[in-house]
Chain A
């Protein structure tokens, strides 16, 4: 009973202070929107006219029609006609072309014989965002061409969509990030950035302004101080998430296919882990400057090693190990699963458990480090 009352007193006080701190307030809503808009250009970035080398050994009318349809999608500009594979490879390696489209000599023959015919596209996937739009267009171009060319009496050759197959080789980057992947990552990074820093500041501010001594002289318990400081920011974090999701949907049409309930639970959990982390930082740092420095020190690997900036599986073992220890890595997997793949509870429960474990450990650390005395 006493616990609850003191806790509410703490929460109310924090909320009042938060409301008066205009700059912080502006920052917490400004940052998500600003980042989303900035990254939004990357999301929306759907470059066309990408330099492409065509290596066509088949010179049938069908092949020519196919090439011209692919060209008409606008995504490719056939900058280099090459004769050999080696030549083409060299161009790709140099970065002179983004794609090599190889049409084997037996393409038309195989199609007519109703065997599997293959077109091979090799893509420079070092910048996967550049290639994804183009690749999606190829598939369509092929089925369009086949439908058109095999019409009338030739319709007997139309054997369904799988007759011609596009074989894609992504080069230099095994795990490709699709355009929508940026939003889950952004959610994780924004929450890490604001939540950790805000709580770290909220506690060190008390110490720096000299109000901590007064607070400690009153009968509030560490858990009450901690939860009281954290609670208002949970609400702020939830609002940030909603802002990003809604804006991402309206501005960039990013879908959300999974369960909102699961997403809500996972997000609250992740927010709380970050807040507890911030609280722990505040028990270590002496002043607000140190708190900010520690938050940034934590933010760096969160951006670089979580799978947000670089594909997780592309990183060396040690970097993956560090990544696994960061909450945002697991949050990213959960949100990607839920938002884009419609993952079920069973599919994310492992990652959720890890976050829960992190919360327990970090909270225990925070409480054990928080002093009821000034010693």
Chain B
């Protein structure tokens, strides 16, 4: 047995074009079972499209691979049976009750003991008392949890979640992520797209995509280490107000205020020090070297991807 057979997702060179636009551009992705992979990238970078390619909802224009050991194209039905896909837009029926939605999903997957399963799912969700309410009446956070419950009802081996916590309050997000980790602990593989950095940090691994290209891949530490980005932190009176002076200065990728501090980063150590040198003359502000954050790195990668795209 080689390693390929173990991977939950193993795709190579995936390409999807709409008209002349290449929306997903030669994406390779490999994910081992039981891992949670955060899928990050700016809006329109191709996250949803990639997830759809993986679960068989779109046919790739090029590339191939396997998902749960089944071929992406010929094994579409088998993949669908073992995968739970949570769409970016709420995909359950708002004019059905909570229970009716779960019943429907359970029946479509030909599950046994539909009643018991749905009872348990409702229990776990804490929605048993509201099971006969119309789904459309639920708030955003509840809808997301219900959608998650619906896509794990058939005990899938792989979960593909598309921005599952967008617009959800922090407490509900935390509850959501606790559930994801519990599922991963049972051996389920999770690939989830997100815009939140704190969620990225809760993932085992991260994949970053921009302009359809996969720009970085690995654990958060790997990505920080690989980035080669340098960063400085300024503290002291008025440090946070310096950000506008550093934007668009050569050698600076990002300058952003965090509370009363200023965080500056750039790819080249010398250029970055040259850029901040004029500001360091003001001795009331203290400057020290620091670690780049994931956000710094993503902004940097996005700029790189844009330059590549424009050059192409």
**Looking at A2, A21, A211, which has the most chain B CB atoms within 10 Å of its CB?**
A211
Tell me the nearest residue of chain A to B111, going by C-beta.
Answer: A5
Judged by a CB distance under 8 angstroms, whether A216 is at the interface is yes
The count of chain B contact residues (Cβ–Cβ below 8 Å) is 29
Contact B95 A219 (CB under 8 A): no
Contact B81 A219 (CB under 8 A): yes
Contact A21 B95 (CB under 8 A): yes
Contact B87 A373 (CB under 8 A): no
Q: How far apart are A168's CB and chain B's nearest CB, in angstroms?
A: 58
Please give, as numbers and ranges, the residues of chain B lying within 8 Å of A20 by CB-CB distance. 95-96, 134
Contact B87 A218 (CB under 8 A): no
Q: Quick one: given A16-B96, A218-B80, A219-B109, are A211 and B91 in contact (CB under 8 Å)?
A: yes
Identify which of B52-60, B180-188, B298-306 touches chain A: B52-60
Tell me the nearest residue of chain B to A218, going by C-beta.
Answer: B108
Judged by a CB distance under 8 angstroms, whether A57 is at the interface is no
Q: Quick one: given A8-B107, A218-B108, are A16 and B55 in contact (CB under 8 Å)?
A: no
Q: How far apart are A216's CB and chain B's nearest CB, in angstroms?
A: 6
Contact A219 B77 (CB under 8 A): yes
Residues of chain A from 205 to 264 with CB closer than 8 A to chain B in the complex: 209-211, 213-220
Complex Cα gap A20–B90 (Å): 19
Tell me the nearest residue of chain B to A1, going by C-beta.
Answer: B110
Q: How far apart are A225's CB and chain B's nearest CB, in angstroms?
A: 10
Complex Cα gap A374–B57 (Å): 6
Contact A9 B91 (CB under 8 A): no
Interface string of B97-112 (1 = CB under 8 A from A): 0001000110111100
Judged by a CB distance under 8 angstroms, whether A13 is at the interface is yes
Complex Cα gap A2–B94 (Å): 26
Q: How far apart are B274's CB and chain A's nearest CB, in angstroms?
A: 50
Judged by a CB distance under 8 angstroms, whether B85 is at the interface is yes
Residues of chain A from 1 to 52 with CB closer than 8 A to chain B in the complex: 2, 5-6, 8-10, 12-13, 16-17, 20-21
Complex Cα gap A211–B194 (Å): 21
Please give, as numbers and ranges, the residues of chain B lying within 8 Å of A218 by CB-CB distance. 80, 105, 108-109
Complex Cα gap A92–B93 (Å): 64
Contact A213 B87 (CB under 8 A): yes
**Looking at B59, B77, B93, which has the most chain A CB atoms within 10 Å of its CB?**
B93
Tell me the nearest residue of chain A to B101, going by C-beta.
Answer: A13
Please give, as numbers and ranges, the residues of chain A lying within 8 Å of B124 by CB-CB distance. none
Please give, as numbers and ranges, the residues of chain B lying within 8 Å of A213 by CB-CB distance. 52, 57, 87, 89, 91
Contact A217 B100 (CB under 8 A): no
Please give, as numbers and ranges, the residues of chain B lying within 8 Å of A211 by CB-CB distance. 91-93
Contact B107 A6 (CB under 8 A): yes
Contact B57 A217 (CB under 8 A): yes
Please give, as numbers and ranges, the residues of chain B lying within 8 Å of A346 by CB-CB distance. none
Complex Cα gap A215–B105 (Å): 9
Complex Cα gap A129–B83 (Å): 64
Please give, as numbers and ranges, the residues of chain B lying within 8 Å of A375 by CB-CB distance. 58-59
Q: Quick one: given A6-B107, A374-B58, are A217 and B93 in contact (CB under 8 Å)?
A: no
Residues of chain A from 325 to 375 with CB closer than 8 A to chain B in the complex: 372-375
Contact A209 B100 (CB under 8 A): no
Please give, as numbers and ranges, the residues of chain B lying within 8 Å of A16 by CB-CB distance. 96, 100
Please give, as numbers and ranges, the residues of chain A lying within 8 Å of B57 by CB-CB distance. 213, 216-217, 373-374
Complex Cα gap A210–B136 (Å): 13
Please give, as numbers and ranges, the residues of chain A lying within 8 Å of B105 by CB-CB distance. 218
Contact A13 B95 (CB under 8 A): no
Complex Cα gap A215–B57 (Å): 10
Complex Cα gap A10–B56 (Å): 21
B residues with CB within 8 A of A:
52, 55-59, 76-77, 80-81, 83, 85, 87, 89-96, 100, 104-105, 107-110, 134
List 29 A–B pairs whose Cβ atoms lie within 8 Å, in order of A's numbering.
A2-B110, A5-B110, A9-B104, A9-B108, A12-B104, A13-B93, A16-B96, A17-B95, A20-B134, A21-B95, A210-B87, A211-B91, A211-B92, A211-B93, A213-B52, A213-B89, A214-B92, A217-B55, A217-B80, A218-B80, A218-B105, A219-B108, A219-B109, A220-B108, A373-B56, A373-B57, A373-B59, A374-B58, A375-B58
For the complex of A and B, 5 pairs with smallest distance between CB atoms: A214-B91, A9-B107, A210-B89, A217-B85, A219-B80
